[in-house]
Amino acid sequence: MKTSNQKHQSIFVAGGTGKTGKRVVEQLEDRGYEVRVGSRSAVPSFDWNNEKNWESCLSGVTSAYITYSPDLAMPGATDAIQAFAYLAKRLGVKRLVLLSGRGEAEAQACEEIIKDSGLEWTIVRASWFNQNFSEGAFIDMVLNGTITLPAGNQVEPFVDVGDIADVAVAALTEDHHKGRIYEVTGPRLMTFADVANDLSLATGREISFINVPHKSFIAEIENSGAPKDVVWMLDYLFATVLDGRNAHLTNGVEQALGRPAKDFADYARETAATGLWEIH
């Protein structure tokens, strides 16, 4: 049975089939909320590069979770977020929750747009996801036993997308997160060699990290036939974001949820137990 609060809430999830979005959708549906999934495959379809269906997607919606693909640092992202926020206000949306990027000036520009929208807002800042190794660009490296990336000895506090989704759901459904910026990280600073070690322990087989030059890595990605936005994103992440700017821990998960963030080792063990990384 739906509560009166749930009966009067319809929540739109932009990127509702993505890493955090699909988890947000699942949690909200489990709690009895009416959820509208924003994706190119949904009806009506939602595409950040095509505004024609946005009004159909947002009509009757009370709150929206915004994830911009591939990243808020992409050229054109600020224009899209501005248009989305303006339309949301015009259509009577009350609350926006934005997934933003840690240490990204372009993402922070998008945050200002949301903060100036005249709507209730919460911002969740994150950077590198644990799930990049199981649902993203690096899963094949794990399966092949060698993580070959231009990461050197730089440390990063990898964050679990389950934690991001939990924070987003709380912000969408609870009033006391209004006007808050939650910068979320995992509980530990890790090099990519540390990641490889945790993955080795979890899978029971040797997974190594090999540092490679940035230019050759990007050339290899291009030669693999990867989409241009994926190439751009990886180039941006390794050339710009992974420079030490985010090499510090924050307690955003604990601030929002009252519990610690998930450690990468726990993520690795849980994922390994599903058989995802088994070699057949």
Mean pLDDT of the 164-168 span = 98
Name the one residue in this structure whose structure tokens are 């990468």.
264
Pick the residue with more confidence: 4 or 142? Answer: 142
Residue 213 lies in a domain: no
Residue 237 lies in a domain: no
User: How many domains is the chain partitioned into structurally?
Assistant: 1
- Per-residue pLDDT band at 280 (split at 50, 70, 90): confident
> Which CATH number belongs to the domain containing residue 81 in this structure?
3.40.50.720
- Per-residue pLDDT band at 1 (split at 50, 70, 90): very low
In tens, the pLDDT along 169-220 reads: 999 999 999 999 999 999 999 999 999 999 999 999 999 999 999 999 999 9
Omega cis (within 30) before 150 = no
Residue 216 lies in a domain: no
Residue 177 lies in a domain: yes
Q: Secondary structure of the chain: what % helix, strand, coil (to 5)? A: 45, 15, 40
For residue 27, the enclosing domain spans 4-127+161-185+246-261
Residue 30 lies in a domain: yes
Residue 13 lies in a domain: yes
Mean pLDDT of the 229-238 span = 90
Give 236's contacts (C-beta < 8 A, 6+ positions apart).
Answer: 71, 73
